[in-house]
Structures are given as C-alpha cells and as structure tokens.
Amino acid sequence: MNPFNVIRDSLYFFQRNLRQIALLCLPLVIVETLLQQLLDNAVGPDASPAYGLVAGLLVYPLYTAALILFLDARSRGETPANRDLLAMSLRLWPRFALLSAINTIAIVLGLSLYFIPGIWLTVILAFSEYLLVLRGREPLRAMKESFALSRGHFWLTFTCILCVMGPLWLLKGLSLSLYPAPQNPVLMLVIDSAHSFLQLFSSVVLFRIYMLIGENSAKD
C-alpha cells in the first residue's frame, strides 16, 4: 500500500459516484452549514466553540454514516436507494453522535497539548466511524479497535489525510481571504457547504485504507 495508489483509486471512485454522493450528502451538509450560521448569529462571534460542535453532532453523523454505508454497498457492487441509506443512518445516529463527540473532545484536547497528541489521535481514531457503522461496535470499543487497526499503518493514514486535507485547508484560507467576513450570508453558505462537501473525499480515502487493511489481514 502506498498513499499515491490509495488517493488515486479513491479519486476515481469519488468522480464516478459524485452525483449520488452529492444527492445523498449535500442537502444535509447545507443544513449543517445553515445551522452553524444561525447559531453564530444567535450567540455572536465570541461564543464558545461548543456551539459549533452541537450543530455538527446533529447532522454530521447522519450524512457520514449514510456515506459509509454507500461506500460499503458500492464495494460489493450494490446500489442502494438514498432513502434506505438515510433510514439506516438515522438508526445509527445516537451511537455515532456519541462517538463523534468523544473523538472531537479527545482530538481538541490533544491539539491543545503541544499539537502532536492531537495529530496522533486523529490518525489512530480514523477508523472508529467505520467500525461503528459497518461492524456495529459501540463507541468506546470502536475507538479501541481503531487503535489496533491503525497499528502498522500510521504513516500511510497520516500521509493520506495530510494530502487530502492540506489542499482543502489552503482552499478554505484562500476563500476567506478573497471574501473576508462580514460577507453575504448566501455566499458564505455556498462556500462553507462546498468546503464541507469536499471534505467527504477524506472519508472515501479512509474507507479505501480500511478495506485494504481488512484484505491484508484476511490474507494473513
């Protein structure tokens, strides 16, 4: 396994399935961004970041779980209806929201401790969402198994995350410099929604790594 092949294969899949991924996830991404804007306007720019976490926990688990289920189905040659994927993701919401909250708090605390622990936690917890959705693990067990699954694959996972998210962070920074706040709310909704949607590519990349690790383990 090398990062170039993983990203290349993931990009090919993302491009071929872009329409269905957009129909499945983009409406919820827009709702999440709109909720974030409404919260920002209601509590002000100096409010606690916890408010942003609340908006994410309401919607992020729904479209991310649906995307993971879609990726798994397509890997088996199936094409499920979006309504079925969303119905399944809704049933997973309580556990997924709890996992997202724990992961976010752990990573934020890690980033506050000289940054490196947060990066380490981001990588070792990268597969916890897939374990929860696809193997039915409880949040804490999913985190524990993600740690074990990432062993021996840390640098591959880290490199892929950096190669995907690095350009997206630069693009986000460029858009903020071109359209500084305060800005037209509709324009900001479009920019933030597009950025959040593009971040879903990282889920495709991580799923590819998750599948490759599983295939290698089966061979061993």
Residue 69: predicted pLDDT: 98
Length, in residues, of the chain: 220
Backbone angles phi and psi of 31, in degrees to 5: -60, -45
In a domain, 16, yes or no: yes
Mean pLDDT: which of 76-80, 112-116, 117-121, 207-211 is highest? Answer: 207-211
Locate 218 and state its tokens: 């089966």
Tell me which of 184 and 15 has the higher pLDDT.
15
In a domain, 217, yes or no: no
Q: Is 150 exposed, middle or buried (0-12, 13-18, 19+ CB in 10 A)?
A: buried
This prediction's pTM: 0.93
- Residue 96, pLDDT above cutoff 60: yes
Distances (CA, A) of 204 to 9, 10, 116, 130: 10, 6, 25, 11
Torsion (CA) 148, 157, 121, 105 in degrees, nearest 10 = -110
- Residue 182, pLDDT above cutoff 70: no
At residue 86, the 3 state secondary structure works out as helix
**Average pLDDT of the residues in 150-168:** 95
Q: Rounded to an integer, what distance in angstroms lies between the CA atom of residue 135 and that of residue 142?
A: 9
- Residue 218, pLDDT above cutoff 70: no
In a domain, 135, yes or no: yes
Tell me which of 104 and 44 has the higher pLDDT.
104
- Residue 49, pLDDT above cutoff 70: no
Would you place residue 215 in the very low, low, confident or very high pLDDT band (cuts 50, 70, 90)?
A: confident
For residue 151, give its domain range.
3-210
In a domain, 158, yes or no: yes
In a domain, 215, yes or no: no
Q: Rounded to an integer, what distance in angstroms lies between the CA atom of residue 35 and that of residue 40?
A: 9
In a domain, 95, yes or no: yes
In a domain, 216, yes or no: no
Counting the structural domains of the chain, the total is 1
In a domain, 164, yes or no: yes
